[in-house]
Amino acid sequence: MALAPKASVNPTVTVTRPKPGQQILWPTCPGYGDNGGTDSSRFPSLSAIKARQSKRLPEALAAFVECAQTAQDRILVLDDFLFKPLEDQSQQSRYDQILNWLPDGLVANDIRFLTNSHEDEAGKTAIRKQFECRISEINQLSQRRIGLATIEIKFSLGKTFPYVHDRFAIIDDELWHFGATVGGLHHLVNAATRGWDANAHDALRFFEEAWRGDGDVSRWSRHG
């Protein structure tokens, strides 16, 4: 797999990534988005919808990829179907799309993905191995590294915290909310909103609760 390009950061300066204004964005095919790009601030046209649906590998939401690649602190993702490929998509191509969020020059240290289990144990081990290898490469390559980046992946969302239908991500202190797969990795019409203050909306607290899981769920399952 080709490595993602280095993030556009200055290695001599400590950066606080500013939160943009609140936006709603739809992923589209190249040429159908704003200014000929892939992200649209309006519902896509019918021709754009059909163009995206016909592609084997839908374009990711460019704004989200850029945001993840330039994260300064954390990348937290909660999504039931994060690693589940689309019907005509190979598993590896889905993994590669997510690995692209983690460029050589990544600064963020806390990377955690909370998802559901759609693979057997061997499949989950293979996913973890790919992402741990990528983080190891980043730790060796990054000139801005303060401490070591770590990645944790839990496949326990549906089992230990079966209350969530939404998909969302927290990049530093910015909350992203998705209508489908985090990163815009679905070919049907779906939107994402960004620019929300994760602290003001209790997103960090909620993510940590989901990450730990609800002990009552385990007790319920044991006692039928």
Domain ranges of the chain: 23-213
The average confidence (pLDDT) of the chain is: 88
Ramachandran angles phi, psi of 34, nearest 5°: -60, 135
Percent of the chain with pLDDT over 70: 87
What pLDDT, on the 0 to 100 scale, is given for residue 118? 83
What pLDDT, on the 0 to 100 scale, is given for residue 119? 80
Closest CA to 93 of 50, 119, 60, 57: 57
What pLDDT, on the 0 to 100 scale, is given for residue 16? 62
The answer for residues whose C-beta is within 8 angstroms of residue 36's C-beta and 6 or more apart is 30
Residue 61 CA to residue 58 CA, distance in Å, equals 9
Topology annotation, domain 23-213: Endonuclease; Chain A (3.30.870)
What pLDDT, on the 0 to 100 scale, is given for residue 144? 62
What pLDDT, on the 0 to 100 scale, is given for residue 122? 92
What pLDDT, on the 0 to 100 scale, is given for residue 36? 92
Dihedral of alpha carbons 95, 136, 160, 212, sign:
negative
What are the helix (H) ranges across the chain? 46-54, 62-69, 91-99, 121-141, 157-160, 203-212, 215-222
User: Whole-prediction pTM value?
Assistant: 0.88
Q: Which regions in the chain score pLDDT beneath 50?
A: 1-14, 222-224
Q: pLDDT by residue (tens digit) across 55-96?
A: 888 999 999 999 999 999 999 999 999 999 988 889 999 999
- Pairing relation of β-strands 192-197 and 174-178? antiparallel
